[in-house]
Amino acid sequence: MKYDIIVLGSGPGGYVTAIRASQLGFKTAIVEKESLGGVCLNWGCIPTKALLKSAQVFEYLKHAGDYGLSVKEYDKDFDAVVKRSRGVADGMSKGVQFLMKKNKIDVIEGFGTLKAGKKIDVDGKEYSADHIIIATGARSRELPSLPQDGKKVIGYREAMTLPNQPKKMIVVGSGAIGVEFAYFYNSMGTEVTIVEYLPNVVPVEDIDVSKQLERSFKKSGIKIMTSAEVTSVDTAGKGVKATVKTSKGEEVLEADVILSAVGIKTNIENIGLEDVGIVVDRDKIIVNDFYQTNIPGYYAIGDVTPGQALAHVASAEGILCVEKIAGQHVEALDYGNIPGCTYCSPEIASVGLTEKQAKDKGIDIKVGKFPFSASGKASAGGNKDGFVKVIFDAKYGEWLGCHMIGAGVTDMIAEAVLGRKLETTGHEVLKAVHPHPTMSEAVMEAVADAYDEVIHL
């Protein structure tokens, strides 16, 4: 079979790429070894949000009295919570199947291996294309000191489908995956301890956000150990024991299960990169601004490339890639304006420079901060934890960064992304009328604080 474009992998990078290619008139096929939608739809972004929604509803039931309501009897059904999550994921995967049919994209099931001459072998059958786009994504990374057995030491995939709710859980790593599962299991009643190697949880975030999340988590009963390292695990007994090295010495923690959330490993093994001659550096496929590899006709997008390993980044890269192939005039992606979102409670959302990064660059800055404790909408909703923090260049008013922690902030960050894309200034944000009462008016209030014009603080 001969195609214009074959996409290897059907995650949010791959399937979006295939659809855009089809829209542009290319005869397109997509290769998938498991389920359409990849990890994101089946084992990542979507089903985790379903779990987190169940946790949020359970939290509301626990605190019904805070809203003047009386709920005498309530409980959780862990199996039903997991089943709902899987149902949501299955529905989304079927939605991708529909999109493939709608856009006349051939779905080739099986494990794809790249071949020279712009060909792909799928379980012994060969296909060729003018352009081959690699979008094979990533998986949970394993540490030598923390080998995963899928039962007592698990990755994110097993964490979504545990047969029984553990009484005690150790979460190693406090990135997005780690803190989201820590929140979920803690809300369900599991005793959770987070072990983080670096000095702060969610270490890529602004330091104020990290400190706020730590306060909120500790208030919820989550134990947090920072500047700590799991040096070994013992799975011989009924549960699991983890030896944790800290500045105070070693400590042995006991739990039913350990969740390893220490990052990701790209899926680039055994897909034929070496046979084709495609250059890889430090687990990433090297590409140019429009995702071409060093071998003509082969491209790569998403987690397998050096950009941020986020679903929306993979989608944007794939669209740019095929539009460039189609001869359209496209601009390279601005990786400095990519929003990051974490869906624990309180949620975290950020874009651009942190305060420390801006200072390290020697920029004279204005910083504004507005706490949700001063927000009417947040008070009415009972979600007063958190704040919005904004950073502007003092001389020109350029919006350098925006950092949020609180209820629903992942739905608010797009304002900052769009504003930065359009090169808006602090005064323009300040003079754009924001609706009241809303959580989003905290953005305007934070900007007002930066310019010493804040009203409600």
Q: Which CATH number goes with the domain that contains 245? A: 3.50.50.60
Q: Which uninterrupted H or E stretch holds 400?
A: strand 399-406
pLDDT in tens, 279-308: 999 999 999 999 999 999 999 999 999 999
Question: Do 28 and 133 belong together in one domain?
Answer: yes
Structural domain for 399, as ranges: 346-450
The helix (run of H) or strand (run of E) holding residue 239 is: none
Phi, then psi, of 155 in degrees rounded to 5: -105, -175
pLDDT at 40 over 90: no
The position carrying tokens 């096929």 is 29
pLDDT tens-digit profile of 46-67?
999 999 999 999 999 999 999 9
Mark whether 199 and 278 lie in a shared domain. no
> What band does 319 get if pLDDT is binned at 50, 70 and 90?
very high
> Tens of pLDDT along 414-444?
999 999 999 999 999 999 999 999 999 999 9
Counted domains in the chain: 3
> Distance (Å, rounded) from C-alpha 396 to C-alpha 393?
6
Number of other residues whose CB lies within 10 A of the CB of residue 24: 17
Same domain, 50 and 194: no
Q: Rounded to the nearest 10 degrees, how much is the dihedral formed by the CA atoms of 101, 106, 112, 113?
A: -150
Residue 164: the pLDDT is 93
User: Is position 455 within any domain?
Assistant: no
275 and 136 housed in the same domain: yes
- Residues annotated as catalytic are 436
Kindly report the pTM of this predicted structure. 0.94
Look at residue 230 in the predicted model and tell me its pLDDT. 95
Tell me the C-alpha to C-alpha distance, in Å, between residue 13 and each of 39, 102, 441.
11, 18, 33
Instruction: State whether 158 and 191 are in the same domain.
Output: yes
Asked if pLDDT for residue 42 goes beyond 90, the answer is no
* Same domain as 133, residue 7: yes
> Which pLDDT does position 1 carry in this prediction?
83
Whole-number average pLDDT of the chain: 95
Q: What's the Cα-to-Cα distance from 85 to each of 48, 88, 92, 102, 166, rounded to whole Å?
A: 7, 5, 11, 26, 18
What is the Cα–Cα distance from 203 to 226, expressed in whole angstroms?
10
Q: Could you tell me if residue 341 is inside a domain?
A: no
The CA-based angle 120-32-175, given to 5 degrees, is 120
